[in-house]
Amino acid sequence: MVKGEITLIGAGPGDPELITVAGYKALLHADVVLADRLAPRALLADLAEDVTVIDVGKAPGCHVATQDEINELIVTHALAGKNVVRLKGGDPYVLGRGGEERLYAEQHGLSVRVIPGITSAVSVPAAAGIPVTHRHLATGFTVVTGHQDLGEVPVRADHTLVVLMGVSTLASTVSTLTSRGLPSSTPIAIIERGYSQTQRTTIGTLEEIVVRARKAAVANPAVIVIGDVVRLAPDAQVHLASLKSLDTSDAAAAATFVD
């Protein structure tokens, strides 16, 4: 039996033009496409009419398919001789579970090609004018998920912390970081829907960002950036200077903020 090809493609942070040339060419060669929720869906319009598109998107608290089911779909179609593309937002190997999918396929005697993509951890802050590293401000950065234990990540304003999938755990993230000694005056930015027409950035400090995020009804998908590099965002100083006028009387209610 002829086995099909499997390609894991990172399609970037959301703008369809940010997929690599290699990724786009491989996508057009697919017989079956398993598409993530955050993958640029506009790319699917370029597929031939006979290509099977399977939505396996995951949203907070709502998974169209479990990871085990996704793994099985990839293998089943490849063993049937189909060229399978797993279309992911960002990069398959940056908190994208691409490694799990590759290993599962290899356990079934299938080879996998991985085409990297532009990760949202770096590109979405850039879209908001925030470099994750900057000379004299930050020479390194750490990428985590909002559901990860932050007990051992660096807690210095000169080391950038990028949090993915962290809206619902914002209050606990702030509490953990400040309890570990990160100054409450440390700037933080939340960039929603990076590279889309509705991109929005909310800037504040650790001391009041939970209140500010609640008032702004911040929601996923979003990338959170913590550290001195946030000061480089356009109008960041204006946002930070306006904090004294923020009404924090509902801070207690904001502690239960969820996306």
User: Domain holding 102: CATH number?
Assistant: 3.40.1010.10
pTM given for the model: 0.89
Is the bond preceding residue 221 a cis peptide, omega within 30 degrees?
yes
Arithmetic mean of pLDDT over the chain:
92
Name the least confident of 60-64, 144-148, 239-243, 254-258. Answer: 254-258
- Report helix, strand or coil for 28: helix
Do 105 and 192 fall into the same domain? no
Q: Domain total for the chain?
A: 2
The arithmetic mean of pLDDT across residues 231-235, rounded, is 93
The phi, psi pair for 18, rounded to 5°, reads -95, 0
> What's the token pair of residue 91?
């990069």
- Domain containing 167: what range? 121-254
Last-in-domain residue among 81, 101, 118: 118
* 130 and 112, same domain (yes or no): no
Q: Choose one of 118, 133, 164: the last residue of a domain.
A: 118
235 is catalytic: no
215 classed as catalytic? no
Is residue 242 located within the same domain as residue 129?
A: yes
Q: Is residue 1 part of a domain?
A: no
For residue 234, what are the contacts with CB-CB under 8 A and spacing of at least 6? 129
Residue 70 makes CB contacts below 8 A (sequence gap 6+) with 34, 56, 86, 101
Residue 66 lies in a domain: yes
8 Å CB contact between 206 and 226: yes
Among 93, 118, 143, which residue terminates a domain?
118
218 pLDDT above the threshold of 70: yes
> Which entry of 31, 36, 91, 259 is annotated as an active-site residue?
36
In a domain, 75, yes or no: yes
Residue 63 predicted with pLDDT over 80? no
Rounded Cα distance, 99 and 188, in Å: 30
Amino acid at 215: K
Together in a domain, 57 and 149: no
Tokens 């440390």 sit on residue: 186
CB-CB contact of 187 with 236 (8 Å): yes
Note whether 100 and 151 are same-domain residues: no
For 94-127, how does the pLDDT look when each residue is reduced to its tens digit (9 = 90+)?
A: 999 999 999 999 999 999 999 999 999 999 999 9
Could you give the percent of the chain with pLDDT greater than 90?
A: 83
**Catalytic residue status for 36:** yes
Q: 103 with 62, same domain?
A: yes
Please, how many CA atoms are within 13 Å of residue 99, restricted to the half-sphere of its CB? 3
Residues 10, 96, single domain; the answer is: yes
From the candidates 31, 82, 91, 165, which is the catalytic residue? 165
Residue from 3, 15, 58, 158 carrying the catalytic annotation: 58
Query: Does 259 reside within a domain?
Result: no
- Kindly tell me if the per-residue pLDDT of 253 is higher than 50: no
